[in-house]
Amino acid sequence: MTTPNRPDRGTVDERIAAVRRRRPRLRDDRVTLAHGAGGKASRALVDAVFLDAFDDPALASLGDAAVLEPPTDGQRLSVSTDSFVVQPRRFPGGSIGDLAINGTVNDVVAGGGRPAWLSVAFVIEEGFEVAELHAIVADMAAAATAAGVRIVTGDTKVVGAGAADGVYITTTGVGYVPLGRDLDARAVQPGDAVVLTGTLADHGMAVMLARGELAIDADIRSDTAPMHGLAEALFAAAPGTRWLRDPTRGGLGTTLNELAGAAGLGVILAEEALPVRPTVAGACDLLGIDPIYVANEGKLVAVVPADQTPDAVDALRAHPLGADAAVIGEVRIDPPGTVVMRTTMGGSRVVDMLVGDPLPRIC
């Protein structure tokens, strides 16, 4: 039996595009449980909301995993996963969408990596407005473009009304660490400088005020931003950089306590050197919150050898996201495992890890 000749059906991409045009279209205004059942409604939601926004060949195949080309010269990978449940979902300076991208990108950066790929997973509550979902995903797509990363795989689940708080987003980031770049708290030495790339507490206070529960009117915007470019400027100027973190939940105080404990050294901070915007400082004072414990989403804290510190600060300040960079302290042998603040009054106090959470659900 012979097979009749068939007319040319076009290239693979053209055939796939033709099939996609025949797929179910999303006609719902709100997410329903059917959108999480894995059938036509699920496919319509994925096609209309996620594929159109993220537009990556590795994602478009909708396989169980993305197959990617890894570095081939022995470089290591930096991998991080985080979940985002912030309320409100949109706040001055950002949204849960760009926060989900920037937060994970910055975690990969803090591991010394150059971010390359992201996976995203959504848990969506039944009844969630599709228009808001479109807006969140658009923010994510724009943030991914700004960070130079590809969204290559993901997942969507729908839960019953009341079983979630609108939408939860989990992102996993993968980047590659250039050869010779080794960041480790155990490499930190007495005499190293502690460098902060910008002002403290902008994100946490922006989210807190956006809830509208407090009678405080202040122009405070989140600092959410991808730190990949700023980090590369730092590494170029100070190749001996020993340690890097983004001080998110728990703020700078908690992050430096983790450093002191891991290094077995003391960290001495200068209160007058800590950059805090006046409006943020005022809001913190009114609420009785120390800005050193408030989350940041667009800042890095680094430990740099003393002889490379001037170049590091100059390079950071030359970058649009590092204009307020400053040396805020130094590493000492004593007191080991402890962070101490030298106050503007000439005294000193121990900066312990955050106890409790003065600002719930800020990331």
Q: How many CB atoms are closer than 10 A to CB 213?
A: 8
Which of 149, 177, 205 lies at the terminal end of a domain, its last residue?
177
CATH (domain of 155)? 3.30.1330.10
CATH (domain of 311)? 3.90.650.10
Which of 150, 177, 204 lies at the terminal end of a domain, its last residue?
177
Asked if residue 292 and residue 257 are part of one domain, the reply reads yes
Whether residue 254 is contained in a domain is answered as yes
- The pLDDT score that the predictor gives to residue 8 is 55
Whether residue 363 is contained in a domain is answered as no
- The pLDDT score that the predictor gives to residue 9 is 57
Whether residue 278 is contained in a domain is answered as yes
- The pLDDT score that the predictor gives to residue 57 is 79
- The pLDDT score that the predictor gives to residue 60 is 75
Q: Using only the alpha carbons of the chain, give its radius of gyration.
A: 23
Which one, of 170, 176, 132, lies nearest residue 153 by Cα?
170
Q: Are the CB atoms for 344 and 271 separated by under 8 Å?
A: yes
Whether residue 1 is contained in a domain is answered as no
Asked if residue 133 and residue 269 are part of one domain, the reply reads no
Whether residue 361 is contained in a domain is answered as no
Query: Does the predicted model carry a pTM greater than 0.85?
Result: yes
Range of the domain at 332: 185-350
Asked if residue 198 and residue 59 are part of one domain, the reply reads no
Q: What is the token pair recorded at 211?
A: 């809830």
Asked if residue 286 and residue 212 are part of one domain, the reply reads yes
Whether residue 17 is contained in a domain is answered as no
Over its length of 363 residues, how does the chain's per-residue pLDDT go in tens digits?
444 454 455 675 665 565 556 566 788 889 888 887 667 777 788 888 888 888 887 787 666 667 777 776 778 899 999 999 999 999 999 999 999 999 999 999 999 999 999 999 999 999 999 999 999 999 999 999 999 999 999 999 999 999 999 999 999 999 999 998 999 999 999 999 999 999 999 999 999 899 877 667 789 999 999 999 999 999 999 999 999 999 998 899 999 999 999 999 999 999 999 999 999 999 999 888 999 999 999 999 999 999 999 999 999 999 999 999 999 999 999 999 999 999 999 999 999 987 766 655 666
The residue written with tokens 């989350």 in the block is: 295
Q: What is the token pair recorded at 362?
A: 């800020």
β-strand partners of 118: 151, 173
- The pLDDT score that the predictor gives to residue 360 is 53
Whether residue 37 is contained in a domain is answered as yes
Secondary structure of 213-269 in the HEC alphabet?
Answer: CCCCCCCCCCCCCCCHHHHHHHHHHCCCCCEEECCCCCHHHHHHHHHHHHHCCEEEE
Asked if residue 233 and residue 304 are part of one domain, the reply reads yes
Which one, of 183, 188, 197, lies nearest residue 332 by Cα?
188
Please spell the DSSP secondary structure of 78-106, one letter per residue: EEEEEEE--SSSEETTEEHHHHHHHHHHH
- The pLDDT score that the predictor gives to residue 28 is 83
CA 319, distance to chain mean position in Å, is: 19
CA 345 to CA 324: how far, in whole Å? 23
Instruction: Count how many domains the chain has.
Output: 2
Which of 160, 177, 194 lies at the terminal end of a domain, its last residue?
177
Whether residue 10 is contained in a domain is answered as no
CA 5 to CA 179: how far, in whole Å? 54
CA 94 to CA 99: how far, in whole Å? 7
The residue written with tokens 């106090």 in the block is: 349
Asked if residue 217 and residue 141 are part of one domain, the reply reads no
